[in-house]
Chain A
């Protein structure tokens, strides 16, 4: 009997909870779970964007990836971009945060300026940087000329195009990790620095032994967030180099996009998206594991 009484009390509560959750669950299901499952389903088929081809092929698309040199090179380019961009963004963001972490109006203004570029759309950012890097009239060309060097078309140079994209991305995306680092820095008690001052610690020792270890979780968070973000690089590449020169900047998301919407092979594109999802999931998992309280 008591069990029945308890149930009758619980039922209305559960219903209310479910009703409160329902709008979120509806959106979550419709726009995340269903497309994800659909993508997984599509990845097991030869599936054309237009037309009727929906042929089950099992692991065929996944095996095709292994044989596809363009897929391999685009995966490598995405990894290269990530390897270049993530440490650079993390280091520069940390440096800026260290410099900006001061209670003065000037630094408040500078913080806003550095953060502002993140509010721009990828179109605006690439437009600005196409102008900056323009080999005949751009700021960079003028700078090189002033130093007595011949102008270089960075975006047309197979070795320099990727670093140029990294610089653009750095300029665009530095604000968010910088703010994360600023928040992390402000969490470090002032007394630790004062104790270090009394303990004869040099600025470098203080940075190495106090600041860096105290920022461990923030650094980890920034690294993982940036890996997830930068591995999905697409807009800058499409608008600035279109994957060139000589396919040297063709990245995975661009290849997925082209396979899907240019070549109409949605099934194959879906299988590559699944792989991308796997990479992101691993990164998120690592972050969750390493940032557990008490670690």
Chain B
């Protein structure tokens, strides 16, 4: 186990800057998920930790030792690749034992350690199979086994579940979580899937266009996104956004005039903004409750998605915006109906013109 510290990491490919001044501490035994949209630089960051790529600037430290000039094999990291990267002409056992053999471990000890890991991951029946003779899930387990057998200081996962089907993804996610609990290893996990990030992470680092947007525990980020990007990125379905301007602000809260619509009360401190400043109001679908009357906003139902435990209602508001709200599973709402929606002041998020979140007033 080990801690990882990234200090001011920048990286460029020719003239394109893919990582900008990334500073991130990953604690010993922590499962850190780096999440962001495609092309945000998250895999590059992981490869920099692995030593497969050299950063253009900044330092990588493992257990307080600068490792910029240390070869990948000497860093004590093991990586699970997106497409597994199993050696196609080696059996599962040979794949798993390859690193140990290269380190000069005896054939007997390698075999013993491979079998022990295989037992742990229920891979024993597959040990003599070639990767081409295994299913995607089995290959994934072998790839994890290959990482595990070396007993590395740090595990790196590069979108390891992206090529699996939905059901298998859920199973493997739980498997990785179990492994982390069992071994308490330091893990850095890269994904573009915010559900994976939310379910697996001790902490999440959100990356956007090479910049670290926010780092924190999953629920902290979900409840208190620092900016519009984080607010929109975390949560499925996404947070609704409404444009408006500040009507009034005080220590007790703010009032926002939604563009073309009513004034809504928001439990946020906005007194640093000028009167009538342009703001964005954010509200998660689960906080926006539909009803037949007496709501803040009114509109016509365009789509109803019935998921069993809940119903997602797409609404074309009279003020010209579209919002998504959640109702109970047995919702009577139908397409074409007129519906009112309402949310408590404490459920709103408020962002200034540059997309930065304003402090929320937490109810005592």
Contact = CB atoms under 8 A, between A and B. Distances in A.
A198 B79 contact: yes
Nearest to A191: B85
A200 B73 contact: yes
A209 B81 contact: no
Given A198-B72, A198-B77, A198-B79, A205 B87 contact: no
A33 interface: no
A210 B88 CA distance: 9
Contact of A201 (B50, B52, B98): B98
A214 B131 CA distance: 13
Interface in B81-128: 81-83, 85-90, 98-99, 102-103
Interface string B326-346: 000000000000000000000
B89 A213 contact: yes
Q: Residue among B78, B88, B103 with the most chain A CB within 10 A?
A: B88
A80 B146 CA distance: 47
Q: Residue among A198, A214, A216 with the most chain B CB within 10 A?
A: A198
Interface string A174-204: 0000000000000001011011111111100
Interface residues on B, range: 20 to 34
A90 B146 CA distance: 34
Contacts of A189: 83, 85
A192 B78 CA distance: 13
Given A195-B85, A197-B73, A205 B102 contact: yes
A198 to B, nearest CB: 5
Contact of A197 (B72, B82, B86, B87): B72
A69 to B, nearest CB: 47
Q: Residue among B71, B81, B90 with the most chain A CB within 10 A?
A: B81
A150 to B, nearest CB: 50
B83 A191 contact: yes
Nearest to A192: B85
A2 to B, nearest CB: 43
B85 A209 contact: no
Contacts of A214: 88-89
Contacts of A195: 79, 81, 85-87, 146
B89 A197 contact: no
Given A189-B83, A205-B102, A198 B73 contact: yes
A191 B143 CA distance: 12
Given A189-B83, A194-B81, A205-B102, A199 B73 contact: yes
Nearest to A199: B99
A199 B98 CA distance: 7
A209 B78 CA distance: 19
Nearest to B147: A198
Nearest to A212: B89
Nearest to A198: B72
A198 B99 contact: yes
Contact of B99 (A191, A192, A200, A202): A200
B331 to A, nearest CB: 47
A217 to B, nearest CB: 11
Given A189-B83, A214-B89, A202 B52 contact: no
Contacts of A199: 73, 98-99, 102, 146, 150
Contacts of A198: 50, 52, 72-73, 77-79, 99
Contacts of A210: 87
A194 B51 CA distance: 10
B73 to A, nearest CB: 4
Interface of A: 189, 191-192, 194-202, 205, 209-210, 213-214, 216
Interface of B: 50, 52, 71-73, 77-79, 81-83, 85-90, 98-99, 102-103, 146, 150
20 contacts: A191-B82, A194-B50, A194-B52, A194-B81, A195-B81, A195-B85, A196-B98, A197-B52, A197-B73, A198-B72, A198-B73, A199-B99, A199-B102, A200-B102, A201-B98, A202-B102, A213-B88, A213-B89, A214-B88, A216-B89
Given A196-B98, A199-B102, A199-B146, 16 more contacts: A189-B85, A192-B88, A194-B79, A195-B79, A195-B81, A195-B85, A197-B52, A198-B52, A198-B72, A198-B77, A199-B98, A199-B150, A200-B73, A202-B102, A213-B88, A214-B88
